[in-house]
Structure 1
Amino acid sequence: MKDRHWRTRYRVGAYEVWGTSLDSEERRRNAPHAEPADFGLYLDERWHGEEDARTSHFVYWPTLEAPVERALLIARIKEAAAALRDGATVEVACFGGHGRTGTVLCCLDVILRGTTAREALERIRREYCRYAVGSAGLENFLLNDTGDLVTPEPLRAGEGR
């Protein structure tokens, strides 16, 4: 059985994000007694009614392929990054805590640390979980379809590109 995660801490620059598996035995034991995250991003419909955050956000993403609600997912990832910058605790969770969760953790790395998607992918597998972003569909989405995660800084008066 692959590793399961209960609020596995993952450092993204100066920030810390929790990665969680719904089916983690440790989560089942500790969730009722733990302080909830401020912001939760849940990527599996089985989390409805199980969420562990004060403010829960759901994205319908039923498989380990590219997300169905891509625009909503990108918006929620940007909101999670903003919440981290504002000092909130953030939990990202799917069923196993590897594929979809790992993909979002990589996206946060791209936004908050300015890394490339490839660098984020290598790092997540080294520092969070070797099973992270564990399908060709997720890897393809991360490497080829997340270019709009980082919004260019707006021009100031008198500046040109």
Structure 2
Amino acid sequence: MVEFPDGTRVEGRGLARPRPDGPAPDFGLYLGTSRLRRKHGGGISWPHEWVTWPDFLLPVRPAEARGQIIALHERAKTETVEVACYGGAGRTGTVMACLATLSGVPVGEAVAWVREHYHERAVETPWQRRWVSWFARQSG
């Protein structure tokens, strides 16, 4: 579980690994293609949404994904939420960096902050790093 500077908390994980012990989240945002949904989405029994987001790339519908990330941040203020992709590092880390910018981390520090507080390999590609900057510019 990551606690952001504004006090919101979000669980990040990889769907390739078993879900951690404990209660299910109130809501989940999952990042992947229809193949990942078919393979790993069947065990998700709580309210959730999917962002079509191929591995190592960017969301297929960026503006829609941006809205879903902002909504996840809002939910995190009052609910237990999680975000996950297959491995839990690149796409999930990118969303975590976007959430960091929403919680007050300067965009230039967001990737480093998430690597320190969530996963050392978060935000795996240069275009994912640029997408975090795009996301922050759209938000503010």
Alignment of 1:120-139 (within 5 A): 120-139=110-129
Partners in 2 of 1:56 and 1:96 — Cα distance? 18
Structure holding more helix per residue: 2
What is the distance in 2 between the residues matched to 1:123 and 1:146?
15
Which ranges of structure 2 fall in alignment gaps of 5 or more residues?
Answer: none
Deviation at 1:53, TM superposition (A): 5.7
Which has the larger Rg?
1
RMSD value, Cα: 1.8
Count of aligned pairs: 135
SS at structure 2 position matched to 1:43: strand
| Residue in structure 2 matched with residue 4 of structure 1 by the alignment | none
- Is 1:91 equivalent to 2:82 in the alignment? yes
Q: Hey, what's the Cα distance between the residues in 2 that align with 1:62 and 1:51?
A: 20
Q: Distance in 1 between matches of 2:61 and 2:26?
A: 23
What is the rounded CA distance, in whole Å, between the counterparts of 1:40 and 1:100 in structure 2? Answer: 14
CA deviations on 1:28-53 (whole Å, 9 max, x unpaired) are: xx5xx642211100001313533546
TM-score by length of 2: 0.86
Name the TM-score, length of structure 1 as normaliser: 0.76
Alignment of 1:8-157 (within 5 A): 9-13=1-5, 14-24=7-17, 26-27=18-19, 30=20, 34-45=22-33, 46-48=36-38, 49-50=41-42, 52=44, 54-85=46-77, 87-112=78-103, 114-150=104-140
* Structure 1 unaligned residues grouped into runs of 5+: 1-8, 151-161
For the residue of structure 1 that corresponds to 2:115, the secondary structure is helix
Distance 1:51 1:15 in 2: 26
* One-letter code aligned to 1:75: G
